[in-house]
Structures are given as structure tokens and as C-alpha cells.
Structure 1
Amino acid sequence: MDDDNDFFIRPSSSLTSADERAAAAVRRLENIALPTPGSARVKVDKVVVVDALNVIGPHAVRNGLTDEMMSRLVEVIANPNSALDSGTASLLVKALLPRNRVPESIVLKIVGCLGRGDGRAPFTAQPALLRLLLLLQPYLASPTHLSKLYGVLFHYLGYTTLRPYLCHILFLITRRKHVTPARISAVNEYIKWSVEDGALNALLRVYADYYPDVVVANTRRGGRRGVVFKDPDPEFSERLAAIQAKQGDRPSSGGFEGAKRRRTGEGSYLIPDSHTYGSTSTTITTLEEIRSIHDLVESIEKLELPSQLASVLDEEVLQVLLIHKGGEMVDARLNHWVGHMLEEEWTAIRLAKAGKRTERFVSLLEKIERYTARTGQMLLAVEDWLADMLPSWDGMILREGVMKLLAWVSPEAEDIKEAFLDPVQALFDKGDKVFRRGWLVCIGKIVRRWGVYHVAYLTSDASSLQHLATCLNACTALVLSESACYTVVLVCYEQFAALPLDRDIMQIHLPPAPLIQHVFFSGSPTHTSILCGLIARFKTAFELYDARARKGHGELLSKDFVAGFNSYVMDVCNCLWRGRGFNRSDRNATGFGLGEEAIEKLRGVAAARGDNLAGLFSLTHSPLFALYSARTFASILERQCSTVSVTDPVTNVMLKQLAESGGPKIDYSDFRVELLEELREGGLVGVVEFLYGSMTSLMSRKSGVGNGLGR
């Protein structure tokens, strides 16, 4: 080629020595691969080609290539007379890492060389060049470059070798203006001949988002989730992101992992900046123009959504705007971006196992969870990703982020039991204590959020609640020996108790009897108080449910179900208050599920110590409450100025003997009422609430007992 045309390699003060060496290598490669017009094609000197690539490749990775280098090398690959073989051309494509935003001239050069005819690139090179354009898409100088070429790109869908990359590009850049009946018809026609073509089906689903009534419904989704395109070269994208970051350039639109993150610290995720392209209004219509809350309030009706909706994950103002002005189209665009990112990164992490990608993914999950918390609804793409990911999840990687997202799963989710609950339940069976506790906390959040955001659905369809309650019961059975989990388990059931009381969802899901038994005898006054408060909540829920059912609003609960719950109430009352612990002869009493033989053995053990099993776990005798009982009795003696010293547990008989011996006269019933107030002041509200709500003798004396789950 003429030296006069090689202006980009002339020494200049603006070029570094590294740039000059790379430019010289590009020149040598051009001279070998592109003979001058009219000259015969000569055999390529492979040694020279390899030497040139060994200079261009490392320089591109370290510093990126200038616009001129990029343009000349694309020409080397795309020229139909290029002497480079397909293998060398593929290696060269991998080195095309631009230093700056990609100008429109390079985009036109790549698109212009597609197809058949004079001046078109060799067929072996066209897929590689189109793949390059796909990888460069997030870093185009203007997002309109490809949009203006939409019709040209669509024209080449008939080329099966180009179709995967074309569909991917069209998938990313499609907007409403691009979707026409003719294009929908054309894609449908291609699909008839390639039914299993995932790329075509994915593109058609995008069209369905814009015109759901035109696109045949059963082609919108294949199974649970549609095909999500993957980054064809994650390593290239990583390198490109690093090079562009050096120049201070950020991705302009959602393409790939490397083009979607904003580096705000080590391991953090890059999210597109919020920009609104093409706005011509003279009034405030874009988010970039908002400078204060006053501006937002004054302009919210006129504000345009930004071109990069993925920036909503970083922009709280945009989140507010989407809540106000969102819709199906907005959800579809955001779902496309998030679905791409989650699928790509999860695949990369599974291959890499660890590293900075994991840290960045954690950052992305945190942003998605914050967005979900603000909107109160999980994105469909996130729900689909979770459903696809959970069967292969080990319960360790990304544990915190996954659990936070699972806590937002909707009761309306497709196959909620098989897709979400069963995989986590399988991990729970063999998981460590941290995992088990984390999942139990997650269940509690799920129930609470369902009661806030999905009341209407749960009122008409309670199957999801039943699945969740069954899952909780199964998890509970596995942690009965782990007292550290008792509180979080009880809180989960308290959320179930709140559904009919606070949310008007007439569903009652009781804790299993083994949990009642283990917690009551756990040796913790806090656990016992929480349990008693929980039973009190369920008792109120039963009464509310029964009252509504008797008025014709719902079916009456079965006798066995009611009797099972009443056994909880009676067994606890017998132990704490009635002095008839482990009695089985009272109506509904089961002695905490123990058989007569076991109870007789316990009676024998207690008798050998000089104790009576029936009163051993009462408020005045139980080690859990003995301190409160002694403190109450001492307070009464002090008020009566008595110097009597008593070390035995307070009983009705002991108080009578004390009065008969000249001591103060203390009524046993009054003493126990005062003991309840002592327990309440000590934070054991659950015990007090339960007894006041269950014992007829106490109901008339109820005073100042708080509501809610007692602690």
C-alpha cells in the first residue's frame, strides 16, 4: 500500500512509543494481508504475521487500540481479498479491544461487509466480525448507531451462520418502533423451519412484550424461563471493561457483564449511568436535569424514562419514577437486562468458583434486593433465575444474597413448591446451622411479606401458604434439638398467626406438637414466654375464625384440628397454673404427648426427691420462674413489714401455715396475680398474656397486658 495512506503510523507527539510499535505492526500486517490493487496475491509470510500479532495482541490488552488501528484491522479482516486464513483472522478479532468509544465508521464497516456480493467479507470471517460487533455494542459512541441499522441487521436473519449473533444484537436494541407486523411474520416464518432455534424464539419473545396480542401466546415463553443469551466471550468483555475504565468511559447500554458495571470500589458492580438520549424539550424532562426534590415533584409528570433502565438499580430517584410511571414495557426492558446479567454471571461464577466476579455478583444481588424492597415485587427475571439456579446451588456460594432474594418470592410464582421450596428443603436437610437459621429467617420474612403485598391472592388461593407451612413443619422437625433455632422458628409461626389477625387471611397453620413440647421444656424462660405468647395469638385467631365461620364466612374447622390446638392450651395451663402437670384425664389434655408409663416413671423420680410432678413446672416451682416468685414474695413481705424468712416455693398450703403461725396473711390467688405482673415487668409478657387469655379465673382480673408475641 502507499505510504502516503499510512498517516496513523507517522511519528507524532501524541503517540506513545508503545502505540508507535503497535501501529508499525498494524502496517506490516496490512502490507502482507492486503496487496495493492492489480498486484497478484502472494503467499503470506506466517512468521511476519505471528510477529505482528505478538505485538498487537499484548498492546491491545494493556492499552487498547486507537480508532485508526481498529479501523485498519477491521479492514484487514473484512476485505474479500485478504490473504489471512480464517484461523489468523479469528485470532486478530480477539485482539480488537478499542481504547475509546467505538465510532460509527467502524460499525458501518462491519455491517457493510455482511452478506453476499462484491466487497463483502469472506463467509468464514463474517460470524467473527458480527460477534465482535456484539461484544462492542455496550461501548458504541452513540446508542443510535445500531438502532439506525436495525433494518439492515434484520435483513440478514436468513443467514443461519449469522443468526445467533444477529438475534442477540436485535434482542438488545429492539424498541417499540422496531417491531412491525412484517418483522413478526418474518421471525415466525424462520421459526417454522427452525423450531428449536432458541435465538429466534428469544427475539420473538421481545416482540411479544411490545405486541402481545399479535404474537402467538405459546411462543412467548418456553417453559419457566425463555432462552437468555450469554456473553460469547466473557474474557474479552472483562478486558474491554478494564481498558475502557482506564479512559473513564462507562457503558452506554446493557450488553454484557463488562459493559454493565460501574466500578465504585474493589469488587463492586458497574451499572449503566442514567442518560436520556434524544430529548428535545426545553423544559425539565430528563433525570439529568433534576437538581432537587422540588424539581422532581414539579416535573414528575413530564419526566422521560432514561435510555438505560438498568440504572434504576443505582438511582433511588429513578426507582421512585418507575413506581409512578412504570408499566409492562418498562418491566420487560428491565427484566431483559437483569436476566442477561444474572445468567451470565452465575455461569461465570460456577466455572471460576470464586474471585472478584463473586464479589461483583454479590453487589448486584444487593442492588436488586434493594430495588425489590422499594417496589415490593420481585422482577420476573430474578424469579426465573432463582428457579433455574436453585437445583444446582450448593447453599454456600452467594448464600446471603440468594436468601435475601428468596424472601421476596411471590405466592403467585409458577411451581413454587417444586421450583423454590423443595430445592432449599433438600439443602436444609444436610445444611449447617448457619444455613438452617438463614432459611428459617427467610421463611418468616416470606410469610410477613405475603401478608402485606399479596392479601387478595392468598384470600382466593391458599395453596402457596400450605406449601410454605409444610416446608416450615419439615424444617422444624430437623431443628428440634437445636435450641438456638427455637426463637426464629417461633417467629415464623407467629407470622402465620398474624395472617388471620392482622391481614384478614383466614388460614391457620399450627406449629407441630413436638415443637411445643421441646420448647416448653427447653430450660429457657424466654423461649417459654415466646411459646406462650404464640399459643395466645393462635387462640385469638381460632376465636376470630370460628366467629366468621359461624356467620357463613368460611367452613368450620374440623373437631380434630381444634382438639389438637386445645391440647396445647390445656397441657401448658396444667403445668404453669393449675398444678396438674402431665395430667391426661382432663378434657383435651394429653400430658404433652407422653404415655402413662412414661408419666408414672416421672412421678416416681419426682417422689423420690420429695416433689410432686403435678406442680413441679408451675410458676412457683419451675426453675424458670423461681427467681420471679421469690422476688414477688419478698416484695409482699417487705410491704407488710414482716421479717419472716421463707426458702421453700410458695404454695397455698405454705401460706395458710404461715398465717396460722402468726405470720402475714397472704392470699394465694393474689400472690399469683402479683407474680404475673412481676413476670410482665421482667419481659416475659407471653406467659402473662397466655394465662390471662386462657384461665377463666384470671379473665376478670386482667389488667394492662400488652399485645403481640410475648418475650
Structure 2
Amino acid sequence: MATSPEHDESISELLTDLENAAKVPAKVRASKISSRVDKVCSKAYEEGFSSASLGRVIDIITIPNELDQASINSLIRNLYPAGKVSDSIVTKVVASLGHGRAKPSYNAQAALLKWLVMVYDVLENPKVLSQLYGILFNLLDTIAIRSHLCHVLSLITRRKHVRPYRIQILMELTRQAGNEPPLVGLMRVFKDYYPDVIVGDVTSGRASVFTHPNHEWRQRLGEIQTVHFQKTQDGLPLEQRTFRANRRGTRQTKSSVVPEVHTSRAQESSVTLEEIEDVHDFVQRLEKIEPPNQLVAVIQDSLLQKFLQLRSSEVYARRVDSWLMAFFEDQLEAADTSEIKILEMLVSIQAYTHYTKKLPPTCSAYLNSMITSWNGVVGRQIILDLLSYTPLGPFQDLYYSIFQAMEEALLDDEAEQSKLDLLTFYNKLLNNWAVAVLIDPQLSPTAKESISALIKHVDTLALSIVQSSQSITTLSTVLTFYESIAFIITQPSLNETVRIIIPPTELIYTLHFTPSLTILSRLCGILALYKRAFEMAIGPKASVSKGAQSYPKDYINRFNGFLMDICNCIWRSRAFNTADMNALGCDLHPDIAQVLDTYVRSLGKNLTLMSLFSLSFSPVLCLLSISYVRDLEDAAGEEIEVRHAGPVTMQSLKLLEKDGGLKYNWADYRLGFLHYLDKKGVMGVGELMYNTMKQLMPAKKP
């Protein structure tokens, strides 16, 4: 029976889609989010979540988002872990509990506590909840989640947790709540440890019987965990294997293109990999281990990977490469070449390459030979991922030998996703090259020209992408590439190797004026890092370095123009101004700016074009701006007689104070709003202001 396209989607792709959709308000979404949630839940019910995927879903649920309560509840109901639940995930859940606007709803918190009870038996480290006991206990005054809190506490309470002050608090809560059953049940757990200390009638009421909340859920979890355990032991998800050689077993009827570990030349004094049972055994007998017959099994066997890494040899590497060469030659020469077999081999090599961080030379040669006839569709993600491990070399040579043909195959259908896949490929390639230079500084001479050429090439690609589509997904993918560049150029060890290439002017301003707060914040954060990189490259310490980069004054002024324009828009209420030093006016022609300003003034609302992109008026910042003021007014309470009508200006604050409203000057409002944005997770805007405006540099909160 053929599987549906939805079924074929990986959980990672589904979660990426859900993460992007969860940031968009329901009113502006192109489609309902329920379908995305249903796909994730269906996948989770079938296979469970890996530790990484589980952490991503917990983040979606616990970090402020635009999901409706029904979607959140559905996600929590399907949080089936395929393996053990890590300490970090448990900590995230506990950190999300309690009061505050950034916290999930009490309904979601109660469901998460219920989930902790249901996965208690599969925690990687049950002691982690014990370490968080104080946090959980201090939340007992939160009525909405109290019953589930009591259940969790009843599971983890030990003698060391039963302290006199906690007994007193629990007794007081029990009396106040009228002997609420969950509290009485927890009190009885306490009394089991100190029966002589707890007296009176606080434990005489009806108590909750703490049992598993959902037996059907537990049964399904057991089935998922059993299948996952069998897979990890039988070698299906091979990258997760530990210290046992891969044995397919008698039940596996499907033959693999890669042979399994088998040793037939072992002597009486030697040891085979098949005999190794655990890490201790492996370490103690490492020097006596006899290599298996087919070393190419290293591609799918993690234990053999560890063995060859510790006992590396050029002879071993040649043997693996020779086997792969023979395989690919056979497939190319065979009349009935199986596309499935080649893809299966490439998938195996992909996992192996992720482990070694090096693409086998034979695989690289095969990809170079087949790329000219590739249709850009079959095995796209696998092939692009493998090619991203192309060794560092002259970019132009690599482009004309392989990357150009790859681009032609991908961009043949002119689909937006194809361009994004290509951009993602170059992002991975850039990161892999940067890592290669960090590992081997001798590559620096080659890297100087190659990485610069790569960035300039992708600049053109990124600009064409944003000019054809400005969806959040598209812009986010573009920004991910520039975030990688920003991270690389701010690494001190790469300062003399990687030249700072300024993004295209049109790209900067297109991203700046998109109607997305997330995009604006990320752009500002990237520019702040670029500024820091320039300071490192041309500062006093860099000037004494023999290999320090040199940048023309006009080049630096051009970048400063970006900073000045964005600060003029957001901070100074002087958008499109060209009078300031280095200001470019966002490359808007003065005549057009004049026409637009005349139109805005004609609306009769005391507005000007220059102020429309400021903290108070910007389409992406205005809601948070007035929300910040409302929070201040709520805190002031009865001390104020009137509230600000909004938007906030210097003049409106003065009038507000005269009318008995909030006493707040313009400078304090702007600085306070930046701190407010930081608390809301919109940190990029503040980062740029703090690092660009001299008067704000001392005001940045640590």
C-alpha cells in the first residue's frame, strides 16, 4: 500500500513548519495551524519523539507563542518519548511552571505536570526532579495546578525533603483549602516519614489516591519504547548504537548494500568486535581486537567506527575506499542499475560522514560524475547534505566543476523551495569550511579567497530569493545564512582568515521593512555582530597583528550607513534622513521621500513620514510599545488619573503628566522599552541600539 505524502514527511520537517507557524498570529496565517498540529501528533503517536524532537516540541509549548489552547493540549497529549527523557527536558518543563505572562496557561501547566507523572518511569535521571523539589513545592499555592503538583511531589518525596518548614507550610495550606484531597494525600506521604512530628487532624480528611492518570497512554508509550529499544539493539537507527557490533538478526529479511561486521581470521589470543558487550570490555581489549573481514562495515556500525578512529590507519582507509569504488563502478556499469541501492548507500554514507565530518573520496568522485545528469529531485536532501562536506578548496574551481551543475538541476523548476534548499546547502558548506579552518589553521590561505567568494556568490542568490518571495519562511532561511556569517566573523581565531563581506544594500533594507518583528529583531542582531566584527578587525589590537584585515574607509562608511539608517528609523524618528553623517536614507530617492511625506502630513493626524518607523509608530513595534506603557500604568494603579491614548511621543508624555497621568520622560520611555523588548525575547533591536548609540552603551543590562 502506498504511503501518503504526509506520512513521508520527517518529524524534523513537520516541527520546523510548526515552529514557524506558531510564531504567526492566527489572524494572519495563510492556513489553519490545526492541520500541522495533527500531522505532528499523528507522527508522534506512531513513532514517538526522539530526545531532540521532544525538546523542540517542549520549546514550542512553553515559549510564548500564537498557538491556541486546543493545539497545545493536543501536542501535550501526544508527547510520547521514544527513548529516555533527558534532564534538560524535565528542567524546561519545570521552568515553565508558575505565574507570569511568558508562562504557558495554567491548563497547559497542569497537562505538563500530568505528563511528568506519566513519563516518570522513563526519565533518564529520576534524581533531576528531586533536585528541583524546592521549586515544585513552592508552587503549591497555585490552585490551578495544585492537584498535579501534589501527585508529582508524592512520587519524588524522600526523607531528606520532609523539612519542618515544609510541614508547616503544607499544614497551613491544608487548613486554608479545607482539607483538599491532593494536599491531604501529600501530607500523608510526609507523615509516613515523620509520624511523630505531624499531629492533629490535618491527615484525617479524604485523601487523593495518586494513581497513573492514563493507563491507555502508558500502554501506547510502552509499545513505542519497545519498538525503539529493539531498533537500537538490532541496528536499524545505527547512529544511536553504542558498544555492540551491528547484528541484523534472523528476522531481517531485507539485505543491505553494506556488509555487516564479521570476523573470520581471529586467533586464539585475539578478540573480535562481535564479542564486545560494553564500553569496559571494549577499552580493556582494544589492542587485541582483530579487524573484521569487510572494513566497509564501518559505514553502518558505530562500534567499528570507534575502533577505526582509535586505531586509524591509511591501509584501513584505502580498503574502505576501494570497496566503495567497486560498488559505484558496478552500479554505473550494470544494465539494471538500481536507483534504490544507490540511494541506500548514499544514506549510509551520509550517517558515516556526519560522524567523521569528512566525505569519503570515492563518494565525492561519484557525486561529481553523476551531478551533470541529476534531475535535482531524486535524493535531493541526501545529495545536498553530502556535497556540503566538499573539502575546502578554491570556490571558483569547485563551482565550475560541480556546484554550477548542481544549481542548474535544482533551479530548473524555478520553485521557491528549490532556491531555499540551495541556500541551505551553501549555509552548511560555509559552516563546514569554517570548522575545517578551526581544526586545521594551515587551510587559512585557501580559506581567505574561498570563503569570501562563497559569501559573495550567495549574496546574489539571497537577494534574488527575497525579491521573489517575502514569506516568513523564506526570510528566515536567508537570515540563517547571515547569522552563520556573523558567528564566523566574530570568532577571534578566524579574524585574520575570513574577510567581512557586507550584505547587499537592497537585501538589508528589504529585510528591515518586512512586517515581521522576528525578522527585524534577527536582522538587527546580525548587524550588531557585524559591527563587533569590524571593531575586532580594525581596532588597536588588530592593527599590531601581521595578518590583520584592511578595509577601505568608504567600505566601512557604507556599513555604518546601514546602522545609521536603522537607528534613524527606530530610535531617532528620522527615517530616510540623509543629512546625518554616513546616512543613506535607506536608498530611497529624496523626491519619492518628499512625495510620501506630503501624503502622510495630508492625513491630518500630526504625522510625518520620518516618525512612522519609530519605536512607537513602527507597524511591528507599536503593539509592544503601547503594551509596555499599559504595564507601567497597571503597576501605578490608582496613582494615575488618566491613561495614555497612544502612540507615545515626547510631547504626549509631557501632556500626560500635566493631565495626571504617568510621569515618564521620553528618554526613560525609550530605554525602558528596549529592556521590555529584551524580556519579551526581541533582543536584536536592543543589541543594535546598545552597540551603536553611544549614550546607550552603559545602559545595557547584563
Q: TM-score band (shorter)?
A: 0.5 to 0.7
Work out whether 1:446 is the aligned partner of 2:429. Answer: yes
CA distance in structure 2 between the aligned counterparts of 1:572 and 1:600, rounded to whole angstroms? 19
After superposition, the C-alpha distances for 1:390-415 in whole angstroms (9 at most, x for unaligned) are 22222111101101112222213893
- Contact in 1 for aligned 2:459/2:504 (Cα 8 Å): yes
1:273, distance to aligned residue in structure 2 (A): 1.9
**Alignment map for 1:222-301 (pairs within 5 Å):** 269-284=256-271, 286-301=272-287
- Contact in 1 for aligned 2:259/2:294 (Cα 8 Å): yes
1:265, distance to aligned residue in structure 2 (A): 6.8
1:701, distance to aligned residue in structure 2 (A): 0.8
Instruction: Give the letter for the 2:371 counterpart.
Output: L
1:268, distance to aligned residue in structure 2 (A): 7.1
Out of 516, 523, 545, the position equivalent to 1:552 is 545
- Contact in 1 for aligned 2:565/2:576 (Cα 8 Å): yes
CA distance in structure 2 between the aligned counterparts of 1:262 and 1:400, rounded to whole angstroms? 30
CA distance in structure 2 between the aligned counterparts of 1:281 and 1:502, rounded to whole angstroms? 53
1:262, distance to aligned residue in structure 2 (A): 11
- In structure 2, the residue matched to 1:138 is none
After superposition, the C-alpha distances for 1:71-128 in whole angstroms (9 at most, x for unaligned) are xxxxxxxxxxxxxxxxxxxxxxxxxxxxxxxxxxxxxxxxxxxxxxxxxxxxxxxxxx
- In structure 2, the residue matched to 1:522 is 514
- Which blocks of at least 5 consecutive residues in structure 2 are unaligned? 1-247
C-alpha distance 643-428 of structure 1, shift in aligned 2 (>3 A): farther
C-alpha distance 510-675 of structure 1, shift in aligned 2 (>3 A): same
- Contact in 2 for aligned 1:262/1:269 (Cα 8 Å): no
Percent identity at matched positions?
29
Moved more, 620-629 or 378-387: 378-387
1:525, distance to aligned residue in structure 2 (A): 0.5
C-alpha distance 546-625 of structure 1, shift in aligned 2 (>3 A): same
C-alpha distance 434-308 of structure 1, shift in aligned 2 (>3 A): same
**Alignment map for 1:18-417 (pairs within 5 Å):** 269-284=256-271, 286-345=272-331, 357-412=338-393, 415-417=397-399
**Matched residues, number:** 438
After superposition, the C-alpha distances for 1:318-347 in whole angstroms (9 at most, x for unaligned) are 111121222322222212222333454467
1:552, distance to aligned residue in structure 2 (A): 3.1
- In structure 1, the residue matched to 2:486 is 497
C-alpha distance 288-266 of structure 1, shift in aligned 2 (>3 A): closer
- Contact in 2 for aligned 1:637/1:644 (Cα 8 Å): no
CA distance in structure 2 between the aligned counterparts of 1:398 and 1:262, rounded to whole angstroms? 28
- In structure 1, the residue matched to 2:560 is 566
C-alpha distance 534-637 of structure 1, shift in aligned 2 (>3 A): same
**2:700 alignment partner, SS class:** coil
After superposition, the C-alpha distances for 1:530-561 in whole angstroms (9 at most, x for unaligned) are 10010011111111111244113324211222
- Contact in 2 for aligned 1:500/1:545 (Cα 8 Å): no
C-alpha distance 676-342 of structure 1, shift in aligned 2 (>3 A): farther
1:441, distance to aligned residue in structure 2 (A): 1.7
C-alpha distance 345-685 of structure 1, shift in aligned 2 (>3 A): farther
C-alpha distance 601-343 of structure 1, shift in aligned 2 (>3 A): farther
CA distance in structure 2 between the aligned counterparts of 1:458 and 1:627, rounded to whole angstroms? 49
- Contact in 2 for aligned 1:425/1:475 (Cα 8 Å): no
C-alpha distance 305-288 of structure 1, shift in aligned 2 (>3 A): same
1:597, distance to aligned residue in structure 2 (A): 1.8
- Contact in 2 for aligned 1:448/1:495 (Cα 8 Å): yes
Instruction: Give the letter for the 1:453 counterpart.
Output: A
1:388, distance to aligned residue in structure 2 (A): 1.8
CA distance in structure 1 between the aligned counterparts of 2:249 and 2:257, rounded to whole angstroms? 3
Work out whether 1:631 is the aligned partner of 2:627. Answer: yes
- Contact in 1 for aligned 2:644/2:656 (Cα 8 Å): no
CA distance in structure 2 between the aligned counterparts of 1:278 and 1:267, rounded to whole angstroms? 27
Structure (1 or 2) with the larger CA radius of gyration? 1
C-alpha distance 463-327 of structure 1, shift in aligned 2 (>3 A): farther
CA distance in structure 1 between the aligned counterparts of 2:407 and 2:251, rounded to whole angstroms? 36
- Contact in 2 for aligned 1:659/1:666 (Cα 8 Å): yes
CA distance in structure 2 between the aligned counterparts of 1:297 and 1:338, rounded to whole angstroms? 29
Instruction: Give the letter for the 2:279 counterpart.
Output: I
CA distance in structure 2 between the aligned counterparts of 1:592 and 1:491, rounded to whole angstroms? 23
- Contact in 1 for aligned 2:626/2:646 (Cα 8 Å): no
- Contact in 2 for aligned 1:691/1:698 (Cα 8 Å): yes
- Contact in 2 for aligned 1:497/1:538 (Cα 8 Å): yes
C-alpha distance 533-617 of structure 1, shift in aligned 2 (>3 A): same
- In structure 1, the residue matched to 2:525 is 533
C-alpha distance 304-561 of structure 1, shift in aligned 2 (>3 A): farther
CA distance in structure 2 between the aligned counterparts of 1:335 and 1:272, rounded to whole angstroms? 14
Instruction: Give the letter for the 2:524 counterpart.
Output: C
CA distance in structure 2 between the aligned counterparts of 1:601 and 1:562, rounded to whole angstroms? 31
**2:490 alignment partner, SS class:** helix
Scaled by the length of structure 2, the TM-score of the pair is 0.59
1:421, distance to aligned residue in structure 2 (A): 2.6
**Alignment map for 1:571-586 (pairs within 5 Å):** 571-586=565-580
CA distance in structure 1 between the aligned counterparts of 2:474 and 2:509, rounded to whole angstroms? 15
C-alpha distance 441-654 of structure 1, shift in aligned 2 (>3 A): same
- Contact in 1 for aligned 2:394/2:449 (Cα 8 Å): no
Instruction: Give the letter for the 1:511 counterpart.
Output: P
C-alpha distance 478-275 of structure 1, shift in aligned 2 (>3 A): same
- Contact in 1 for aligned 2:515/2:620 (Cα 8 Å): yes
**2:420 alignment partner, SS class:** helix
CA RMSD of the aligned region, Å?
A: 2.5
Instruction: Give the letter for the 1:521 counterpart.
Output: F
Scaled by the length of structure 1, the TM-score of the pair is 0.58
- Contact in 2 for aligned 1:421/1:468 (Cα 8 Å): no
1:289, distance to aligned residue in structure 2 (A): 2.3
CA distance in structure 2 between the aligned counterparts of 1:622 and 1:432, rounded to whole angstroms? 32
1:599, distance to aligned residue in structure 2 (A): 1.6
After superposition, the C-alpha distances for 1:420-476 in whole angstroms (9 at most, x for unaligned) are 332233345444222222222222222222222333144222222123212211211
Out of 416, 436, 460, the position equivalent to 2:445 is 460
**2:533 alignment partner, SS class:** helix
Instruction: Give the letter for the 2:420 counterpart.
Output: R
CA distance in structure 2 between the aligned counterparts of 1:376 and 1:608, rounded to whole angstroms? 61
- Contact in 2 for aligned 1:410/1:450 (Cα 8 Å): yes
- Contact in 1 for aligned 2:359/2:389 (Cα 8 Å): yes
Moved more, 357-366 or 625-634: 357-366
- In structure 2, the residue matched to 1:487 is 476
1:635, distance to aligned residue in structure 2 (A): 1.4
Instruction: Give the letter for the 2:445 counterpart.
Output: S
- Contact in 2 for aligned 1:567/1:590 (Cα 8 Å): yes
